[in-house]
Amino acid sequence: MIDRLDHLVLTVKDVSKTKEFYCECLQMGFETFGEGRMALTFGRSKINLHVQGKEFEPKAHVAKPGTADLCFIVQDSLEILSERLKRFNIAVLEGPVPRTGATGPITSLYVRDPDQNLVELSVYS
């Protein structure tokens, strides 16, 4: 019945810090739409951004920064990604480590975004 995930929502404290991490470091796109809405874009998906205390309705029952655990599949090698993370002063919490993705084995690096969400950056093995 379900084809794919279209978008999800992150509640953030500071949009400029979020944009720096996701757009500059991870090379996602950024768009504004509707009446003051914002989103990070990548592939055929997006992450809508809600600013803490100014969330759009309806919203999650408990919408707070730092409550997400996300996994992204990256196009570059983890070696190239590691160098990029170093240039942006992003600490790797763990990895590379073997994990299981939606369609098979992956190798992952774990970092935190500016709101302390856990971000898993992975390649299929």
Token pair recorded at residue 25: 């470091």
- Residue 35 annotated to the active site: no
Hunting for tokens 């379900």 — which residue is that?
2
Environment class of residue 73 by beta-carbon count within 10 Å: exposed (0-12), middle (13-18) or buried (19+)? middle
- Sequence-distant (6+) residues with CB within 8 A of 46 are 6, 7, 31, 39, 40
Catalytic residue positions?
120
